[in-house]
């Protein structure tokens, strides 16, 4: 995952996108040069995961990566899974507990398992992630905490660091925090949450994000996908 260039992932919540919208997102992603589809949500109330992935696979060679909110959000129809450890919080279930439950299933699956340090960053409002994970985000102005947390994640052997302001974030992760965290790492940095405009995407990429994740904005306006791709030089 990641090839030493700026990349873009479109996050799909199966609960929020009907088939028609998914088909449009899929087509525009293929045209624009999107690198990955991430699929998942904090809480899925429908049973549309496999159906959603099937539609996304129509894009051809864009890998589908599970971004699970819990251990029930799994599917062998995907290509890979972010094995998320919530290193910004102190909830043991999110650090290792649920991973123990998921491990036997993943061992038998064909999914590529990608150990990922997940860091929730304060975004100006409570998010579904903070509520469902029962954890406090890292304050938006505490770059030092973010830096040390990311470094610890890398030292523990995690392969990616994912800083997320959360779905529906008022404020995206600041360029200052992105830049300083990136400088402390030798592994790829993923950034998502609150990236609604091409200008913000470009600024986050320039600050040091290796992979940007966009979601809510494209659900409402799939035409933004091409603009986001163009903004980061794709």
Residues placed in the known binding site for sn-glycerol 1-phosphate: 162-168, 193-194, 215-216
- Binding site: residue ranges? 13, 42, 162-168, 193-194, 215-216
DSSP code of residue 204: H
Among 139, 154, 131, smallest CA distance to 85 is for 154
Nearest 5 degrees, angle CA 67-CA 120-CA 111? 20
3-state DSSP call for residue 65?
A: strand
- Which residues make up each annotated binding site for Mg(2+)? 13, 42
Tell whether the torsion through CA atoms of 80, 215, 203 and 161 is positive or negative: negative
Whether the Cβ atoms of residue 39 and residue 56 lie closer than 8 Å to each other: yes
């Amino acid at each position: 995952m990641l090839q030493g260039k700026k990349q873009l992932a479109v996050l799909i919540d199966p609960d929020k996108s009907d088939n028609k919208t998914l088909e449009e997102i899929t087509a525009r992603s293929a045209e624009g040069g999107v690198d990955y589809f991430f699929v998942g949500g904090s809480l899925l109330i429908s049973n549309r995961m496999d159906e959603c992935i099937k539609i996304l696979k129509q894009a051809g060679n864009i890998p589908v990566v599970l971004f699970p909110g819990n251990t029930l959000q799994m599917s062998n129809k995907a290509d890979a899974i972010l094995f998320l450890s919530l290193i910004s919080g102190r909830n043991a279930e999110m650090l290792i507990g649920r991973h123990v439950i998921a491990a036997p299933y993943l061992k038998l699956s064909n999914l590529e398992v990608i150990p990922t340090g997940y860091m929730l960053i304060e975004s100006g409002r409570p998010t579904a992630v903070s509520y469902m994970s029962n954890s406090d985000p890292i304050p938006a102005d505490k770059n030092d905490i973010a830096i040390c947390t990311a470094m610890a994640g890398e030292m523990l052997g995690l392969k990616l660091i994912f800083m997320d302001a959360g779905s529906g974030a008022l404020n995206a992760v600041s360029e200052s925090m992105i830049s300083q965290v990136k400088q402390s790492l030798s592994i790829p940095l993923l950034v998502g949450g609150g990236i609604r405009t091409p200008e913000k995407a470009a600024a986050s990429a320039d600050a040091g994000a290796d992979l940007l994740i966009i979601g809510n904005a494209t659900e409402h306006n799939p035409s933004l996908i091409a603009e986001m791709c163009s903004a980061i030089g794709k």
